[in-house]
Amino acid sequence: MVQLNHTHDAARSSWLASANTAGTDFPIQNLPFAVFRRKGTNEAFRGGVAVGDQVIDLAALARSACLQGLAAQAATACAQPVLNDFFALGPAAWSALRHGLFALLEAGATGANADALRACLVPQADVEFSVPARIGDYTDFYTSVHHAANIGKLFRGGDDVLTPNFRWIPIGYHGRVSSIGVSGQTFRRPMGQALPMNATVPVYGSCARLDYELELGVFIGQGNAAGEQIALDAAANHIFGICLLNDWSARDIQAWEYQPLGPFLAKNFATTISPWIVTMEALEPYRQAWVRPANEPQPLAYLDSAATRAEGALDIQLEVWLESAQRRAAGVGATRLTHTSFKHQYWTVSQMVAHHTVGGCNLQPGDLLGSGTISGPTLDQAGAMIELTASGRNPLTLDAGNGTTEQRGFLQDGDAVILKGWCEKPGHARIGFGENRGTVLPAIGVPA
């Protein structure tokens, strides 16, 4: 794992005033990566780094020759429409570029190189984003004990609501890459089969129980050869960074199709990720001890280590907001549904990577892992509407603006779901993930 260094020093500031604003997601202690271009142009997409309210154009910076050595090589790799080549360079290159940018942005930086960086800034308000990597494979995990318990109580009941394997392995399934989109994604309500309550024959139609899932997305940096395992304590060297991920779910379709092979149409219609990837180096100050209660099964040796116990958890604060069509029309913005933290997750990111490769699976630069729904120990920390509303039986009553209310058991057409995330602790700068927004459009289906 990366050691704390000067780029984590909360006392450091930038000559760019917006990077020093209280509450900004993007101080110089963050410097997350995305792929962007100016709105309304045919420019090529290329890598960028967020600082304050600006984007550093890494293609322009690479041409300026104000970085040297490995940092310059990394910037050149970022001048592509996707970041896979940059990811493949590994932790030394990732860190070299971060440190090079930090030096050019820090208060007091002067000279031709700092001036060259100033010329590479583009206002964030003027850009649009693309999916930041060529994602070869997408694996979605199921790693929140609180989410699993809530779902188990809803559908199985009894005292032991977890499946027998949950406490032993990070459960996952392979998802669909083609329908992954970046924040701002809109998608049609999916069509499919569902089995109505007390029915014996399924019906075809549009999803009636559409849901979101609050997750983090994990981008793989360097991969591994087929047949080669990534050891738990080496996994951090293979993880580039983390974004926000919304794993949209058609609950009625899912309930009918998931046995015996798991999700299919219920998950393949849309997955939304935030444009900004916060690097693992930026997240280093927010690591915490990872604890497995003594009265529960302890991980097998390949999923356990002293380093994981000491600092395997990440305290990433997360929120879900809902902007209904009614609230949008009233001009009152979104309303918050959930606030929780990733520190509650039962399995760590490194454990997910180690388990993914233990059978010899070869991960590749740009592969994406989903953390699984992130729910905390209380219901107000639930990461999906199915939990918040007891599968629709206890609808939420929400302020619709203009003195009216509306109810939600599941998502309605026109709803926009916004995910937000940030890290903060005494003695360290607050860093954020930006926004992940997706909007539900009405279904367009084929005739039954």
Q: Which residues have C-beta within 8 Å of that of residue 150, sequence separation ≥ 6?
A: 375, 379, 382, 387
* CB-CB neighbours of 56 under 10 Å: 24
Given a contact cutoff of 8 angstroms between Cβ atoms, the answer to whether 215 and 370 are in contact is yes
H/E run at residue 171: strand 171-174
CA-based nearest residue to 207, from 396, 373, 406, 412: 412
CA–CA gap between residue 252 and residue 262 (Å, rounded): 13
Q: Helices then strands (H, E): number in the chain?
A: 12, 26
Would strands 127-130 and 33-38 be described as parallel, antiparallel, or unpaired?
A: antiparallel
247, 271 Cβ separation under 8 angstroms: yes
- CA dist 130 and 115 (Å) reads 28
Q: Which position among 6, 99, 146, 147 bears the catalytic label?
A: 147
Going through 74-164 in order, the beta strands assigned E by DSSP cover 121-123, 127-130, 138-142
Which residue, chain included where needed, has tokens 């919304």?
Answer: 246
The enclosing H or E element of 153 equals helix 145-155
Question: How far does Cα 172 stand from its chain's mean position?
Answer: 16
- The answer to whether 174 is a known catalytic residue is no
Q: Which long-range contacts (CB under 8 A, 24 or more apart) does 55-58 make?
A: 55/121, 55/122, 55/123, 55/124, 55/127, 56/101, 56/117, 56/120, 56/121, 57/120, 57/121, 57/122, 58/120
Q: Where on the phi/psi map is residue 366: left (φ > 0), alpha (ψ -120 to 50), or beta?
A: left
Number of CB atoms found within 10 A of residue 379's CB: 14
Within 8 A by CB and 6+ apart from 289, the residues are: 309, 310, 311, 312, 313
How many whole angstroms separate alpha carbon 326 and alpha carbon 324? 5
Radius of gyration of the chain (CA): 22
Q: Alpha-carbon distance 99 to 71, whole Å? A: 8
**Which residues are the active-site residues?**
147
